[in-house]
C-alpha cells in the first residue's frame, strides 16, 4: 500500500507516516541497489 | 515549483507575465502550440466548421508548470472526462521495476551496454480513434474561434495511452523484437549468441545491446521519433545510475532523496528524525481516524511525494547501507 492513495483526503496520521518514511530515507540516503554478477560467497 | 506562481489558465498566465515584465509563460505556450502544429494534431475546419454528428465537442486546457531549474512549461491537455467511457479496455502497461532490474542484470552478465532514451511528444506520434473536436481558445492565436478536430492522441483523452503503446509496439516489432512472455514491455531480439533488450515505460526506453546506437538510429531515422537524453544510462525513471569503485552498475534515487530532504526542511524547518524502518508494525493508514488536514496541510502532501525509484527503496526494508 502506498501513501499516495490518501492524497485526495489526507489526515494528520498520513503526514506522520510520510515523515517516518522520509526519516528512513534520511538514515539510508546513501543506499543503492547494486547489480553484481560475480558468484556469491557460499 | 517553489517560489513561482503557476497560472490556472491562459488569462492568468498572461497576467503573471505582465506583472513579472517577461514573456516566459507566453513563450512556453508558443513552444507547445508550435509542437502541436508540427505534429498536425488538429484538423482546422475554420470558423463555424461542422465536423458531423458523430463528433463530440470537448474542451482543452493549457496546463502550466515551472520546472525545478526554473524552466516554464505549458502543456495542452484534452478534457477526456467529457467523452463516453470506452467499451473496450484502454489499459496501457509499463515495464515493472523488477523487470528493469532483471534487464540490467542480464545486460551486465552478457557485457551489453545499457542506454536510456526518451521519446519527445510521444502521444502526438499516434492517431486517436475518438471522434472529438474543440473550439480554439485564445492560446491558439490566429486560430481562436476555429473548429479543430483532434486527430492525434492528445494527452488527456481516455485512449491516448493505449494508442501510443500500440504505435511504439508496432515500431519495435518492425525492428525484429518480440515481447517477453513474462514482461510484455520488455522486448527481446535474437542476435545469435545473445539477445538485445528494450524495456518500455511509456516514452522512456532502456536499451541493452552490444550496439545500442544502431537501435537509436533506427528509432530516429526510420520511425522518425524525436529522441532526447540519449546515451549510456545515468538517470532513468527517477533513479541515478552509476558504477561504484568496483565497477558494479548501481541505481539509487539520490537526486530525488536530496530534493525530498530540501522540501522537508523548507516545510517543517528542521531535518527529519532518522528511522530504522519506513513503517511501524501493524501499519494501517486506511484505518486512520486522525484529524483531516486543512488546505495548508494538503499542499504539504504533494511536496513530499515519493517517486517510483524511491518507493522501491522504501519497499526494501532490508536495504543494506552502501
* Number of alpha carbons in the 13 Å side-chain half-sphere of residue B172: 25
- In B, which residues are within 8 Å of A14 by CB distance? 285, 288, 293, 301
CB atoms A12 and B297 under 8 Å:
yes
* B101, B250, B293 ranked by CB distance to A11: nearest: B293
Mean pLDDT of B85-108: 93
Tell me the pLDDT tens digit for each residue of A7-36: 888 889 888 888 999 999 999 999 999 999
Mean pLDDT of B207-230: 95
CA nearest to A5 within chain B: B286
Residues 6+ apart with CB under 8 A from B57: B132, B133, B134, B135
Per-residue CA distances from B209 to B188, B221, B264, B286 (Å): 10, 18, 40, 44
Between positions 250 and 269 of B, the ones with CB within 8 A of A are: 250-252, 254, 257-258, 260-261, 264, 268
Mutation pick from B107, B293, B294, B317 vs chain A, by most beta carbons of A within 10 Å, is B293
CA nearest to A19 within chain B: B272
B303 has a pLDDT exceeding 60 = no
* A11, A18, A23 ranked by CB distance to B290: nearest: A11
Mean pLDDT of the residues in chain B? 89
CA of A16, closest CA in chain B: separation in Å?
A: 10
B216: confidence class by pLDDT, cuts 50, 70, 90: very high
CA B33 to CA B37: how far, in whole Å?
A: 6
So what's the pLDDT on residue A41?
77
Mean pLDDT of B2-21: 86
Q: B138-142, B214-218, B299-303, B309-313: lowest mean pLDDT where?
A: B309-313
Which range, B26-40, B76-90, B168-182, has the best average confidence (pLDDT)?
B168-182
Residue B190 contacts residue B150 (beta carbons within 8 Å): no
Any alpha helices (H) in B21-122, and if so which ranges? 24-38, 97-109
B304: confidence class by pLDDT, cuts 50, 70, 90: low
Q: Which cell numbers in the block locate residue B265?
A: 526542511
Residues 6+ apart with CB under 8 A from B218: B175
CA nearest to B310 within chain A: A25
Complex ipTM tops 0.90: no
For chains A and B, CB pairs below 8 A equal 138
Place of cell 552478457: B110
CB atoms B101 and A33 under 8 Å:
yes
Tell me the pLDDT tens digit for each residue of B24-35: 999 999 999 999
So what's the pLDDT on residue B276?
92
B38: confidence class by pLDDT, cuts 50, 70, 90: very high
So what's the pLDDT on residue A6?
83
Q: Tell whether B301 lies on the interface with A, counting CB pairs under 8 A.
A: yes
CA B278 to CA B312: how far, in whole Å?
A: 12
Question: Phi and psi of B278, rounded to 5°?
Answer: -75, -25
Q: B18-22, B117-121, B151-155, B296-300: lowest mean pLDDT where?
A: B296-300
* Number of alpha carbons in the 13 Å side-chain half-sphere of residue B125: 23
B318 has a pLDDT exceeding 50 = no
- In B, which residues are within 8 Å of A27 by CB distance? 274-276
Q: Which domains does chain B have, with CATH numbers?
A: 10-86+125-150 (no CATH), 97-123+159-244 (3.30.70), 254-318 (no CATH)
Closest CA to B196 of B205, B204, B187: B187
Amino acid at each position: 500500500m502506498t501513501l499516495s492513495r490518501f492524497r485526495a483526503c489526507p489526515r494528520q496520521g498520513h503526514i506522520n507516516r510520510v515523515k517516518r518514511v522520509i526519516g528512513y530515507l534520511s538514515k539510508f540516503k546513501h543506499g543503492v541497489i547494486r547489480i553484481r554478477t560475480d558468484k556469491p560467497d557460499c | 515549483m517553489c517560489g513561482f506562481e503557476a497560472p490556472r489558465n491562459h488569462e492568468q498566465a498572461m497576467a503573471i507575465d505582465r506583472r513579472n515584465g517577461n514573456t516566459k509563460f507566453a513563450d512556453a505556450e508558443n513552444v507547445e502550440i508550435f509542437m502541436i502544429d508540427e505534429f498536425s494534431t488538429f484538423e482546422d475546419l475554420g470558423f463555424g466548421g461542422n465536423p458531423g454528428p458523430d463528433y463530440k465537442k470537448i474542451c482543452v486546457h493549457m496546463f502550466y508548470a515551472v520546472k525545478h531549474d526554473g524552466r516554464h512549461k505549458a502543456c495542452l491537455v484534452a478534457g477526456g472526462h467529457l467523452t463516453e467511457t470506452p467499451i473496450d479496455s484502454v489499459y496501457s502497461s509499463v515495464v515493472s521495476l523488477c523487470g528493469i532490474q532483471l534487464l540490467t542484470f542480464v545486460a551486465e552478465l552478457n557485457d551489453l551496454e545499457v542506454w536510456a532514451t526518451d521519446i519527445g511528444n510521444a502521444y502526438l506520434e499516434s492517431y486517436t480513434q475518438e471522434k472529438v473536436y474543440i473550439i480554439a481558445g485564445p492560446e491558439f492565436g490566429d486560430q481562436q474561434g476555429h473548429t479543430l478536430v483532434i486527430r492525434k492522441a492528445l494527452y488527456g483523452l481516455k485512449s491516448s495511452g493505449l494508442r501510443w503503446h500500440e504505435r511504439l509496439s508496432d515500431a519495435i516489432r518492425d525492428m525484429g523484437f518480440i515481447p517477453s512472455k513474462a514482461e510484455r514491455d520488455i522486448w527481446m531480439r535474437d542476435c545469435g549468441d545473445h539477445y538485445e533488450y528494450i524495456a518500455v515505460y511509456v516514452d522512456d526506453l532502456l536499451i541493452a545491446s552490444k550496439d545500442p546506437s544502431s537501435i537509436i538510429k533506427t528509432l530516429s531515422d526510420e520511425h522518425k521519433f524525436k529522441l532526447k537524453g540519449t546515451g549510456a544510462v545515468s538517470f532513468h525513471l527517477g533513479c541515478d545510475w552509476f558504477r561504484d569503485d568496483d565497477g558494479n552498475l548501481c541505481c539509487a534515487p539520490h537526486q530525488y532523496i536530496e530534493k525530498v530532504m530540501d522540501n522537508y526542511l523548507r516545510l517543517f524547518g528542521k531535518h527529519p528524525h532518522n528511522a530504522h524502518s519506513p513503517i511501524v508494525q501493524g501499519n494501517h493508514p486506511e484505518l486512520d481516524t486522525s484529524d483531516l488536514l486543512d488546505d495548508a496541510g494538503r499542499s504539504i502532501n504533494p511536496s513530499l511525494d515519493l517517486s517510483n525509484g524511491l518507493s522501491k527503496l522504501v519497499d526494501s526494508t532490508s536495504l543494506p547501507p552502501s
